[in-house]
Structure 1
Amino acid sequence: MVAEAVRRGAWRRLTPADLAAVVSALVHEARSDEVSDPPVPSVEVAEALGEMEAIWREVQARKSEHDLTGDRELDPGISWMVHRWASGRGLEEVLRGGDLSAGDFVRRAKQVVDLLGQIAHASAGELSRTARAASDAVLRGVVAADRLD
């Protein structure tokens, strides 16, 4: 998914906060089967998520052709929260109105930081810079509090 999104330029128009938000859809997995329609922080995020959904469907179709197990669907359930956090908002504001605990948010945010680091390392130019900036924007406060390196 990530390699194909990078190859196709699905994230080229995103700000650091936008990129963090769309990457969160790759790592988040809701605890319940309840499907919700979470708010999307920007038109650019909505477009990137749409492109990612199309890529996901293509990948699943190819896997099915070869009798391979499919992957779970993208889950943008915390994209708004991650966007607000990467935009510098406080934890209380980020969590307000959601059903995610602070600990769960921090765990997901660390997964987002890890994936953003991989994207920064594997890509070049503007996307690499945006991924590094997004990682820095997410890795702050309680998310960075127990980091040892």
Structure 2
Amino acid sequence: MTRRALIGTGAVVVGAGGLLVAAEATGRLDDVADAVGIDPKPQPDPDDTRVLRRAARATAELQAAVAATSAGHPGLDLAAVTAAVGEQLAALGGAEAPAGAAPPADQGAAVDALAQALDIACKDRARDAVTAGSPALVRVLAAMSAGHAQSARVVRSLR
């Protein structure tokens, strides 16, 4: 191999490496990979992963509260709320549900407590949606927030 060929090859390799570093630094590496026919697999954002875990944990707690209220007050028709919260938890990948605290003995107080828990969850998921980076996660969290608001209305109608 001649000295010119070696220097030329080295320059090409260094130039290509520089372009890859620049593409990564500017967030365009996936676009470059897609342009040359490579199917990029984006890495999850660590902040989104934390938001997802927090939402899953909170939804599991909410599911436990709904189950405890339903068991403590069998006269309340909470099937729609149970189904909605269960679907939301499944959309987040599930989480281990903690033991639900016993609801208030008074049915009206139990309804108010569950509606308040749903309101808090609604606000928390809306806040999470604002901070999430992934558009897909934003959509899931916003839909969950709306679902919690609707569930709170359903629970309040049982009063």
Shorter-normalised TM range: 0.3 to 0.5
The TM-score normalised by the length of structure 2 is: 0.36
Compare relative contact order (CA 8 Å, sep 6+) and give the higher one, 1 or 2: 1
The TM-score normalised by the length of structure 1 is: 0.38
